[in-house]
Amino acid sequence: MKKQTPLPPAGVRLTEGLAQRMQQLVRDKVVPYQWEILHDRVEGAAKSHCVENFRIAAGLSAGEHYGMVFQDSDLYKWLEAVAYTLEVFGDPALEAQADEMCELIRLAQQPDGYLNTYYTLCKEDGCAQKRQEGYEPCRVAGLPDGSDATGERLPGLGNRFGNLQQGHELYCAGHLFEAAAAYAAATGKRDLLQTACRFADYLVKVFGTGEGQLRGYPGHQEVEVGLVRLYEATGGKRYLDLADYFLSERGRKPLYFEAERKRKGFCDLFGQPALYLPTYAQIHARPVEQTDAVGHAVRALYMYSAMADLAALKSDPAMAHACAALHRSVTERRMYITGAVGSTHVGESFTGDYNLPDDTVYGESCASVALMMFESRMAALTGEGGPFDTVERAFFNRVLGGISLTGTEFFYVGPLAVDPAACRENPDLHHVTTVRQPWFDVACCPTNIARAIMSIGGYAYAEDGDTLYVNIPLAAEVRHAGHAVRVEGEYPYGGTVRITALADGQRVRLRQSGLAPAVALTLNGSPLPLAAERGYLILPELRLADTVEATLAMAPHYVAAHPGVTNNVGKAAVMRGPLVYCAEQADNGAGVAGLAFAEALACEESEAFTHDGAVALTVKGFKAAFAGDEALYRNALPVWEAAEIRLIPYYLWANRGEGEMRVYLNVR
């Protein structure tokens, strides 16, 4: 049983502050821009062809599939972001566009329920590469085997699920299921949900331990999360059972993927043998036996999210124990201060404990969205408020840092130290872009960022019966199922939060954050004790017009990494509340790596360049100066000259052009 459930977007109307401004940006700029991108109408951006792929699969257009094997998911995540946008703001014109896409998806669905434009449109074996001689399609009893009654091959049917490790059919299905559940909740329209259920019912027939079924599972986890969403939207227990099957079958010996690759004529889509490592796709052990976060970070965290869902919904103590171990592995040993995860570009993966390099980090935007998903589910599983520290860390730093202030450029990776010259010249940094990009060939991140921003109200506010949980104190008017409160404040910048009851009988629990803890609490001006239980401040039942005011600790302070993070020994970062700060060349000139903080933090706050309430810091420190010639090595230490170091919130970096950037600086 989940101990708290997110409020729907319609129940949380953000009224001011950073998150509200970002939701307006998504509504006004991001969603319309991505609509144009998906229709290939943005000059200079990487080609998407996503909508056109669906049009071709639906028989409405002629042509061939273009793009990655997972291209369909871009449209699904856009639709999910649109669903939340409609629920928050309403927009008849946008809803009409979304309805058009829902119908297009329905038309692209095959008669038996299967839905994937890549495998529908590509050559006989479903592989965009030249057909390999002697390919053996994957056959399932009672399903098309690639031939009709006359023996003629049917395009795209012969190898459905013939490459589960790389094919992403189930990954795309998961994003369809999430979008469909969200769109039905937002609009009351169930057409897309019916399309999703037809596909899910097809999967129920294909996968399992019964005779003639495939005993496989997805290479890229996500379908498990989507199936849980379908279960919650429809009550169809078969969807929950299929999610449970995928998790329980994963990692069993002999490994399905190893047998799959040995099939005659197996078509390798990516040509990267490193991706065959069992740890890469988390098949090295059964999920319930896993204790360390390994492999591709997004895959891992989507899987952990589903594990937490199943542990709660099925009251599975063994799965809950595994989730707790994985939570500790990620947040205590393998996560960056910004909420980035995935230390290496090789496999976009986790590495070892405390191996957190600042410059070669991958830290994909999608991984931090997935981290938000997992940690919020850990709170729902355990009833503890602590995991929302990680949700805040990831959202306010890495996720918001993945999008420009214009809403039309995006970061895929999230470095903590950038030298543009090194990024151009060092192939080990080829994955690091120094400015945000208009789009990507692999474009999973932009739509993921959009859906995360538009769903933040459900992270901030949750319920358990008649109790309202304030997990992140975003300024909002909350009205849902008897809950009626107004929350005021400029969080994450403002240090005061006011909660006013808009009706009698309001039971509210305010999270005692580890990043911006309450240091004083009053009810109608009278002091309240700072008594907390499971990470939540205990408040009396509120009557109409009662106001609770919390004063938060928001003073800037140094943060040092564990000494195992060897690249940052002797260095510090600065945080203010949940926000991580960084030094940019735009404020401090070239040579940002030569800056050092003074041992005692002394700083002044001022308005950031955005002029929207963001707080910049000016910190007392030093800058290294070298006298004499330009020798590579010299027999002299630098002279440390007094300097004022200008810091901005990390999420704002690279909005003023290309330049050096660092989060951690030396301390002297």
Catalytic residues: 348, 444
Contact, 237 vs 231, CB < 8 A?
Answer: yes
Q: How far is CA 256 from CA 16, 251, 480, in A?
A: 50, 8, 45
Residue-wise DSSP of 341-397: B--BTGGGB--STT---SSS----HHHHHHHHHHHHHHHHHH--STHHHHHHHIIII
C-alpha–C-alpha distance, residues 215 and 250, integer Å: 9
- Report residue 180 as tokens: 């469909």
Reference 255, options 126, 165, 159; nearest CA is 165
C-alpha–C-alpha distance, residues 347 and 449, integer Å: 21
Angle between helix axes 365-382 and 297-313 (nearest 10 degrees) is: 20
Strand, helix or coil for residue 402: helix
Within 8 A by CB and 6+ apart from 174, the residues are 218, 221, 222, 223, 224, 225, 226, 227, 302
Which residues are registered as beta bridge partners of 507? 467
Task: Tell me which DSSP letter residue 562 carries.
Answer: -
Neighbours of 476 (CB within 10 A): 26
- Report residue 377 as tokens: 């589910």
- The label of the residue with tokens 């739509």 reads 447
- The label of the residue with tokens 């000139």 reads 589
Residue-wise DSSP of 45-60: SPP--HHHHHHHHTTS
Contact, 618 vs 550, CB < 8 A?
Answer: no
Reference 649, options 574, 586, 560; nearest CA is 574
Rg (CA), the chain: 25
C-alpha–C-alpha distance, residues 644 and 597, integer Å: 9
Strand, helix or coil for residue 506: strand
Which residues are registered as beta bridge partners of 549? 498, 522
Contact, 83 vs 98, CB < 8 A?
Answer: yes
Q: Is 125 exposed, middle or buried (0-12, 13-18, 19+ CB in 10 A)?
A: buried
Q: Which H or E run contains 303?
A: helix 297-313
Q: Which H or E run contains 194?
A: helix 191-206
- The label of the residue with tokens 């939207």 reads 233
C-alpha–C-alpha distance, residues 509 and 505, integer Å: 13
Residue-wise DSSP of 429-494: GTT--SS-BS--SS-HHHHHHHHHHHTHHHHHEEEETTEEEESS---EEEEETTEEEEEE--TTT-
